[in-house]
A and B are shown apart, each in its own frame.
Chain A
Amino acid sequence: LAKTTQPISMDSYEGQEVNITCSHNNIATNDYITWYQQFPSQGPRFIIQGYKTKVTNEVASLFIPADRKSSTLSLPRVSLSDTAVYYCLVGDYYGGSQGNLIFGKGTKLSVKP
């Protein structure tokens, strides 16, 4: 299983772009990278998933370099409501490695006015 390492916490201000990097040095060829967001006392919410290069959806972008040993979740123009814990997971698309079921320690993002 690919182990993930993220910063424990990050601070930002409203309107700024936030980039959270996740390290996964032993990522396997079949592994995808998935990010979840969790607010206090709520279940995690899927944000974005990617395999290589760049993926963008309506809420975030995911940048993955060619060696895939790290990935960066980019949140454009954050607001106070983006204050949450962000988890990076790495695993086989069809769950064979169970990697996508193992949450790392997560990054607590605090957005200030």
Chain B
Amino acid sequence: DTEVTQTPKHLVMGMTNKKSLKCEQHMGHRAMYWYKQKAKKPPELMFVYSYEKLSINESVPSRFSPECPNSSLLNLHLHALQPEDSALYLCASSPGEVWNEQFFGPGTRLTVL
């Protein structure tokens, strides 16, 4: 299995809702990432997990809460989001500490009403 899967593909939520995005990979990669991408903009790094530990948090608001339950799974818990948080949320993984070749999932298209 050489892909990163993300669920759901699309998510619509209200500002008072709590939802979670899920990312999974079975390539044995030990680093996993969350990116946020607005329309016509490049992906922006949010979080990096290395060996299941949070190693980078790019000053992301606390309404976004990452979780790495095991080496294959990465979650992003969402609470009290704002309409400006609407974007494509991308998950990626890479072997160990090698960050050059990242494998990206298809993303979750999030709309906050």
Contacts and interface: CB of A to CB of B under 8 A. Distances in A.
Interface string B96-110: 011111111111010
Given A43-B105, A49-B101, A91-B99, A101 B45 contact: yes
Nearest to A49: B100
Given A43-B92, A43-B105, A101-B48, A106 B100 contact: no
Contacts of A44: 43, 90, 102, 104
The number of chain B residues touching the other chain, given as a range, is 20 to 34
Contacts, number: 59
Contact of A87 (B42, B44, B88): B42
Main SS class of interface, A: loop
B56 interface: yes
A98 B56 contact: yes
B104 A101 contact: no
A32 interface: yes
Interface of A: 32, 34, 41-46, 49, 87, 91, 93-95, 98, 100-106
Interface of B: 4, 33, 42-45, 48, 56, 88, 90-92, 97-107, 109
